[in-house]
Structure 1
Amino acid sequence: MSINKVIISCAITGSAHVPSMSDALPLTPDQIAAASIEAAQAGAAIIHLHARNPEDGSPTGDPAVYGQFLPVIKQATDAVINITTGGSATMSVEDRLAAALAFEPEMCSLNMGSMNFAFFPAAKRIAHWKHGWEEAYVRGSDAYIFRNTFRDIRTILETLAGTGAKFEHECYDVGHLYNLAHFVDEGLVKPPFLIQMVFGILGGIGPDPENLMFMKQTADRLFGREAYQWSVLAAGRHQMPFCTQAALLGGNVRVGLEDSLFIERGRLAVSNAEQVLKVRSILAELSLEPATPAEARALLGLKGGDCVGF
């Protein structure tokens, strides 16, 4: 496969952003399915998925909700479907695992360490709250510890081992790379694996270009360049600059309304697909092309879309 190929992931809705922040945020199963299909058609090879309670947009790990949109996306696209095991910082590990266990996707996300995961400063920018749960959820994030202990990580790896799913290993700080190295040494994570380097979350490593370089250099030192694929996401206004830097360095990219609600300074994105098209245009300016789902599967050693449980 050409070295000019870049895997675009799109994170459709997440759990940190609340409905009051953007009317474009997909909340219902129909909205999540439609947004995912549009993102895939725009060029995303991997669709990263959370679920929301259809009534009020709050995060949920309920497999019954996932079951309303996963088959729709699969029938309409060839994209790799990636189900979160992160859920939200307020969920138990059991709740976070429920959908992945029920549907056995090709990929799951896996957070590689505990951290303060905070987004409370966003409350200052919201004048009107649409739902009763939102304000306490956002303001209360100054007390959130996103728990991902070594036991939790081992539990997720071992519980899903029999499904054949591989992981988007989300590393929010340098220490998370060393946590991943521990599980590689133990044989619970095998190459090729995907490292998703995360920048700009309050509580994680900061959105400084030097930090991206340091994370990549550390990963090379720990794993060797041939053992892993790497991708970058950055929160908010840092999204496109960090994707550009990653692409220039030979990495893959992640966009989506989970990571940033904006398409440019001061303008909210109208859809996930708009962000995919923008990063795709950036790649084109760099003489790079989006990888197809089949190419992403080959690079990541995935089991194939015909081997999932939905």
Structure 2
Amino acid sequence: MPNKVIVSCAVTGAIHTPTMSPYLPLTPEQIINEAVSAAEAGAAILHLHARDPADGRPTADSRVFMEFLPQIKERTDAIINITSGGSTRMTLEERLAPPLAAQPEMASLNMGSMNFSIHPAARRIKNWIHAWEKAYVEDTEDSIFRNTFKDIARILMELGEGCGTRFEFECYDVGHLYNLAHFVDDGLVKPPFLIQSIFGILGGIGPDPENVALMRQTANRLFGKDYHWSVLGAGRHQMPLATFGAIMGANVRVGLEDSLYISRGELAKSNADQVRKIRAILSELSVELATPAEARAMLSLKGADAVAF
């Protein structure tokens, strides 16, 4: 087990909708407060999406991102990691617009096209706050989250090579690790890099401990010591798989993008609550949290003074 673990916090995402939790941050002010609180609780990396302040739907409007990015940077030293995935509804041009405008230290990068569905959640909800929500959730049953080799190469070139941004490589299945290996072999991805292995999304690898071990073994075989590993469990699997991953030497990711709950049947009232919970678990395992400065050094980031916000 490492002496220092990087805790990432995904503050709002593009998966959950306002009806699902009253604590999901939607406005720039809410995202600022949630991000800063998560950093104060111990998150070294803040993974950020934007929402339309009017109705909470995911947005790729760079102007909305700029309503919260500078304030978060001013109020915390945490690494700001902007999505390049946006939502499954967005075009690549829409998804790339905010990170290209902001030129952040880090951005997420999905490593393959996939079925990415949350449609079963619609069956459990009878009354929706906003008209857009039901169709947004149900339509994931018949949509593809596109991330072709050409798409990935474009992001690596324009955002990586062009802006000096490094990536949180989001791998939802074993094949995504091999996709990443292809780009390492082509020289478009250089170590050290962060692999975010994701478990429990319908359409991706299942949330079984055996799969966590499989992803770790495969990454070790493909990348040796060139990478840092992180574990993300979706929904109710968040804390169990983060704990299991940490025991195996992983960094961890929590946040309301990934799970709305703090324990069985209890909604998390903030992102910071989840950060504090995983921090307590890591403390019991005698593992310390990496500071933002330590995480920057581990991941060879360009620094907060080199971003465009």
TM-score (norm: length of structure 2): 0.99
Q: Is 1:174 matched up with 2:174?
A: yes
Task: Report matched runs for 1:225-264 at 5 Å.
Answer: 226-264=225-263
> Equivalents in 1 of 2:271, 2:152: separation in Å?
29
Q: What is the letter of the counterpart of residue 104 of structure 1?
A: Q
* Partner residue in 2 for 1:303: 302
Give the share of equivalent positions with the same residue, in percent.
67
> Equivalents in 2 of 1:9, 1:235: separation in Å?
14
How far the C-alpha of 1:197 sits from its partner, in A, is 0.0
Q: Is 1:189 matched up with 2:182?
A: no
* Partner residue in 2 for 1:120: 119
* Partner residue in 2 for 1:158: 157
> Equivalents in 2 of 1:281, 1:251: separation in Å?
16
* Partner residue in 2 for 1:88: 87
> Equivalents in 2 of 1:197, 1:300: separation in Å?
16
Q: Is 1:10 matched up with 2:9?
A: yes
Instruction: Map Cα deviations across residues 229-277 of structure 1 (whole Å, 9 max, x no partner).
Output: 0101011110001100111111100000000000000000000000000
Q: What is the letter of the counterpart of residue 281 of structure 1?
A: A
> Equivalents in 1 of 2:117, 2:89: separation in Å?
12
> Equivalents in 1 of 2:168, 2:2: separation in Å?
21
* Partner residue in 2 for 1:64: 63
How far the C-alpha of 1:67 sits from its partner, in A, is 0.2
Task: Report matched runs for 1:141-152 at 5 Å.
Answer: 141-152=140-151
> Equivalents in 1 of 2:116, 2:177: separation in Å?
18
SS of structure 2 residue aligned to 1:243: helix
> Equivalents in 1 of 2:237, 2:102: separation in Å?
33
Which structure 1 residue ranges, 4+ long, deviate > 3 Å from structure 2?
none
> Equivalents in 2 of 1:98, 1:281: separation in Å?
37
* Partner residue in 1 for 2:276: 277
SS of structure 1 residue aligned to 2:244: helix
- Structure 2 gaps of 5+ residues are none
> Equivalents in 2 of 1:196, 1:173: separation in Å?
11
* Partner residue in 2 for 1:55: 54
Q: What is the letter of the counterpart of residue 174 of structure 1?
A: V
Q: Is 1:268 matched up with 2:267?
A: yes
How far the C-alpha of 1:125 sits from its partner, in A, is 1.8
> Equivalents in 1 of 2:121, 2:96: separation in Å?
28
> Equivalents in 2 of 1:266, 1:286: separation in Å?
25
SS of structure 2 residue aligned to 1:133: helix
> Equivalents in 2 of 1:125, 1:40: separation in Å?
33
Q: What is the letter of the counterpart of residue 190 of structure 1?
A: K
* Partner residue in 2 for 1:130: 129
Q: What is the letter of the counterpart of residue 219 of structure 1?
A: A
Q: What is the letter of the counterpart of residue 268 of structure 2?
A: A
> Equivalents in 2 of 1:33, 1:156: separation in Å?
26
> Equivalents in 2 of 1:159, 1:81: separation in Å?
18
> Equivalents in 1 of 2:130, 2:245: separation in Å?
37
C-alpha root-mean-square deviation of aligned residues, in Å? 0.8
Q: What is the letter of the counterpart of residue 300 of structure 1?
A: L
* Partner residue in 2 for 1:198: 198
How far the C-alpha of 1:162 sits from its partner, in A, is 1.7
How far the C-alpha of 1:284 sits from its partner, in A, is 0.4
Q: What is the letter of the counterpart of residue 148 of structure 1?
A: N
How far the C-alpha of 1:127 sits from its partner, in A, is 2.3
> Equivalents in 1 of 2:46, 2:281: separation in Å?
20
> Equivalents in 2 of 1:59, 1:168: separation in Å?
20
Q: Is 1:36 matched up with 2:29?
A: no
How far the C-alpha of 1:23 sits from its partner, in A, is 0.3
SS of structure 2 residue aligned to 1:47: strand
Aligned positions, number:
308
How far the C-alpha of 1:289 sits from its partner, in A, is 1.1
> Equivalents in 1 of 2:208, 2:40: separation in Å?
32
* Partner residue in 1 for 2:221: 221
Q: What is the letter of the counterpart of residue 169 of structure 1?
A: F
* Partner residue in 1 for 2:209: 209
Q: What is the letter of the counterpart of residue 168 of structure 1?
A: E
